[in-house]
Structure 1
């Protein structure tokens, strides 16, 4: 008699997964109730220690930044950074990533009015304008800044006159208990999560109903579109372009950059689609998305998460 195949949910359950969930939730709660300034300083310290000890990651970050800096020099793009040398950039990426990661937890528990003491918001008028088309909005996201701020986007957007349901594409965690907890946290802040399990039609219907859908667009994909990114052809996600073609939703880009001690700026930028025709190909749309991401990272290169081999 054949054994029943366990469901994906069952595969990611069990005592070890439960212990991992309890540990992760306890650690997150501990950091969450730290003063923001303490978490920020601690994060920079952890980042500095990681920079000293993680030689392999240090090399990966350096190679990524070499390519990006070379592209900026060739294109005549000037990045508004204080860090000049490549070695300083590499160290700052580690320290800033640590600060962004840990500071994100206490940031997530702040009320929106408290958060705005630490967060400047620019460009929400672009979202207000494109939502008038009634096709929803695809928001290109990058791995940068304190990601937990994104959970507050629905309320922050509403405070700036942008009234639309907010959703995000995400990859389910391989721990059912932890995954359910994350989904509950996002739902409590009016963020609907979608994954590949939902297929294409569910998030597309969400867009057609006037929703704002966030998609991490800077991930390297082996089977993605091979298009230029900082001057190098790399596998790039076709998903934002695919959703645009299915729904007609316009594209915007959202970035979060560090502008001071426990201070960040969230910016919404337009994405120029004038270079493509009325029926653009997957590669054309992926190229446009990469160009938008290039401008996002050039604004604050050291806020990027450059720890994986992107090129």
Structure 2
């Protein structure tokens, strides 16, 4: 259990009260409109955000490039998907806020269902159900799904308390009045386990980063730390598992589609089924969180108890970075080869000034020609072209020659991690002294992939 105090117990600040007041005013205004009108207004807000926020355009573009890497769309289609993601996010968010205050019978008119038998059958058999879903569509309509199963069925989510205690209290109160059972993620899992054993329908948001507590497996082909919770709960309780997608089928209209997940499925299988659900409409997915971000200090490490090497062999989409090599130091190639051994899923774009030392003949190493006389002002555009040369975007920079010009250009294009040898300080996120021999270069590679405990093992 976490020592963090749940948001509902925190004393609200003035900022919280102002935010709450603004929310209730907006809610009151929306209550004057139909759900369709609210969704249309949200679409316009989403379109405005697309036009005014290049930062979020880059983030959504990055996420969609990774999600579609195994079947990449052309540039025109990708840009259309990015724009549509903003529009649908606005419609879904404002639509959710309006749906929260609609009577259940009225909300039912805006929802279509498919695959409900996959929830109904186990419930009728007295089994609990673990419902696996993602940040997708109008989240508020999910409460309607359990009502479709039956008034005597208990359902509810594992949720993260809102930062604003007043909004959190309002949300919990409304969900409880609707018959939902809410389980704070910081309160442990004994409650959810008992709930499912007793035949409840537990919804688990499964598309989030799980950090060091997760299980490593591909997510849209990219090695990721994924929550093992759905598989764990189902295994311990004998519950059925299903996935859910929520897609837009018209203005103010959504479709909930349920699919079965095989009994006793392990986390990688659960994640593949979740991908299938999300692919029902990728532009309905909320791609505004940096799901695949790398760590600034150890960009190839997940901080999990297990080494990522074996899991990385299953990845179909690479983790990608560009590298520079120090002139007259062939020993540095040992770091490249060691990274390929520890993380078989990487693709390394090596900047080639024409005098590189011999590199392994490996398709994961790509020589990218560049002229050392290139003016620094042109390097940003150069790296953007390098980034665009593969469906998967660049994740970080590994500057083994301590090239500060490339470091500044890497920061300019938004790379989260910039690792350097020699120079320290900004824009480098981490710097190391230059190794003295081949073993030193190999050890340095391990420091970017493995935790200290894993390196000792």
The residue number in structure 2 matching 1:187 is 176
Q: Contact 1:140–1:251 (CA<8 Å) still a contact in 2? A: yes
**RMSD value, Cα:** 2.3
The residue number in structure 2 matching 1:233 is 223
Q: Work out which structure has the larger RCO, using CA pairs closer than 8 Å and 6 or more positions apart in sequence.
A: 1
Ranges in structure 1 where 5+ consecutive residues have no aligned partner: 1-5, 74-78, 277-284
| d(CA) in 2 for partners of 1:29, 1:242 | 41
- Residue 201 of structure 1 deviates from its aligned partner by 0.8
Q: Contact 1:134–1:208 (CA<8 Å) still a contact in 2? A: no
Q: Deviations over 1:103-123 (max 9, x none)?
A: 122223333333233211111
The residue number in structure 1 matching 2:90 is 98
- Residue 84 of structure 1 deviates from its aligned partner by 7.0
The residue number in structure 2 matching 1:221 is 210
The residue number in structure 2 matching 1:26 is 25
Pairing 1:155–2:147 present: yes
| d(CA) in 1 for partners of 2:208, 2:66 | 16
Q: Which structure 2 residues correspond to residues 37-186 of structure 1 after superposition, within 5 A? A: 37-72=36-71, 85-158=77-150, 163-186=152-175
The residue number in structure 1 matching 2:190 is 201
Ranges in structure 2 where 5+ consecutive residues have no aligned partner: 293-457
Q: Contact 1:17–1:175 (CA<8 Å) still a contact in 2? A: yes
Q: Deviations over 1:183-202 (max 9, x none)?
A: 11001111110013432111
More helix by share: 1
Pairing 1:303–2:295 present: no
Pairing 1:259–2:240 present: no
| d(CA) in 1 for partners of 2:254, 2:93 | 13
Match of 1:270 among 260, 263, 273: 260
Per the normalisation by structure 1, the TM-score is: 0.85
Per the normalisation by structure 2, the TM-score is: 0.59
The residue number in structure 1 matching 2:16 is 17
Q: Contact 2:120–2:149 (CA<8 Å) still a contact in 1? A: no
- Between stretches 15-24 and 186-195, larger displacement belongs to 15-24
Q: Deviations over 1:145-191 (max 9, x none)?
A: 111112323323328xxx52011110012222221111110011111
The residue number in structure 1 matching 2:274 is 293
Describe the shift of the 1:66–1:155 C-alpha distance in structure 2 as closer, same or farther (beyond 3 A): same
Size of the aligned set, in residue pairs, is 286
| d(CA) in 2 for partners of 1:192, 1:33 | 29
- Residue 7 of structure 1 deviates from its aligned partner by 6.0
SS at match of 1:302: helix
Describe the shift of the 1:273–1:288 C-alpha distance in structure 2 as closer, same or farther (beyond 3 A): farther
| d(CA) in 2 for partners of 1:33, 1:16 | 26
Q: Contact 2:110–2:253 (CA<8 Å) still a contact in 1? A: yes
Larger radius of gyration: 2
